[in-house]
Amino acid sequence: MTSKWHVMIVDDELDLLESVAWLLETEGFRVSLHDDPRRAVAAISDGVAPDLVMLDYRMPWLNGSQTLQQMRGFGLTAPAVLVSAMATLAAESAAAGFDESLSKPFEFDQMVRLMRRLLPGARASDPGMA
């Protein structure tokens, strides 16, 4: 079953990327992973249009806010989730243009519930959303 929901995850922690991607794929999501925020921005500039992006805050080269700002500059309109272990960033995420924030460490079910809430028209009965 192919999901209509494409999630882009940008995080420099490779272990986290791989485990989250595997879990999301078992839920039916299509997932693209980037451990370098510059490559994620390049993908957006090349026309990749995910339905939702999840960005870590602390990364080499660009932080999550800078990455989102550049992605928005290339036309990204999808909801964006800031993922960080820094508790103080949750309050600042809306000012930086994020729709939601998710604190590390997080439970997988918590992440999926947040994604379902943000994806337009998504319901638990949708393919890939059960």
Q: Is the peptide bond before 105 cis (omega within 30 degrees of 0)?
A: yes
Buried b / exposed e across 34-59, counting CB within 10 Å, b at 16+?
bbebeebbebbeeeeebbbbbbbbeb
Cite the DSSP H helix spans in 2-123.
14-26, 37-45, 64-73, 89-92, 108-118
Residue 123 has pLDDT above 70, yes or no: no
Residue 122 has pLDDT above 70, yes or no: no
For residue 102 the two structure tokens come to: 């998710």
User: What is the mean pLDDT of the segment spanning 5-21?
Assistant: 87
Spans of all domains in the chain: 6-118
Fold type of domain 6-118: Rossmann fold (3.40.50)
Provide the pLDDT for residue 101: 83
Q: Which residue's structure tokens are 């638990």?
A: 124
Q: Which amino acid is at 84?
A: S
For residue 98 the two structure tokens come to: 């994020």
Count CB neighbours of 104 within 10 A. Answer: 14
Confidence class of residue 91 from pLDDT cuts 50, 70 and 90? low
